[in-house]
Amino acid sequence: MASFNKVILVGNLTRDPQIKYTTGGTAIAELGMAIGRKWFDKTTNQQKEETTFVDVTLFGKQAEVAGQYLAKGRPVMIEGRLQLDSWEDRETGHKRSKLRVVGENLVLMGSKRDDAPGEERQSVQPPSPEPSSDDETPF
């Protein structure tokens, strides 16, 4: 059975990123995003809106960039995958679960200052292997 787990979200942060570090030194950022949707309802002849709130987790360099450059209200694009977390509630003993996005690519949107004109985008992707530093060029 084939499967594909990919999500692309564009929205605004609902809070400042919360940065933590593992004992190995890897950064982990927890973000909250609000994603708005507008559509026209033909049955009521009215414009409708809804907002979906999504929790996002970033790791490594992307988490560090999020902590340095993102703040509540900033627009951002996240590419990632869905992950279901399950646990047992300590107080009630009931099983609980929560769907979140594990970010694999972060794109900063908007300008450095909210009042600056234009739009600046910066993409942060996992590092690729560094090219060889040989002085000879093969031809």
pLDDT tens-digit readout, 59-114: 999 999 999 999 999 999 999 999 999 999 888 889 999 999 999 999 999 765 55
pLDDT of residue 112: 59
Confidence (pTM)? 0.73
- Can you read off the two tokens belonging to residue 124? 């942060």
Question: Which residues, in sequence order, are bridge partners of residue 50?
Answer: 37
Report the Cα 38 to chain-centroid distance in Å. 21
Q: Three-state DSSP class for 95?
A: strand
Q: What's the average model confidence in pLDDT over 16-28? A: 94
Give pLDDT, residue 17. 95
Rounded distance, CA 114 to CA 8, Å?
Answer: 23
Residue 133 to residues 11, 42, 126, 137, Cα–Cα distance (Å): 40, 62, 21, 10
Which letter does DSSP use for residue 132 in this model?
A: P
Q: What CATH number labels 7-37+48-98+106-124?
A: 2.40.50.140
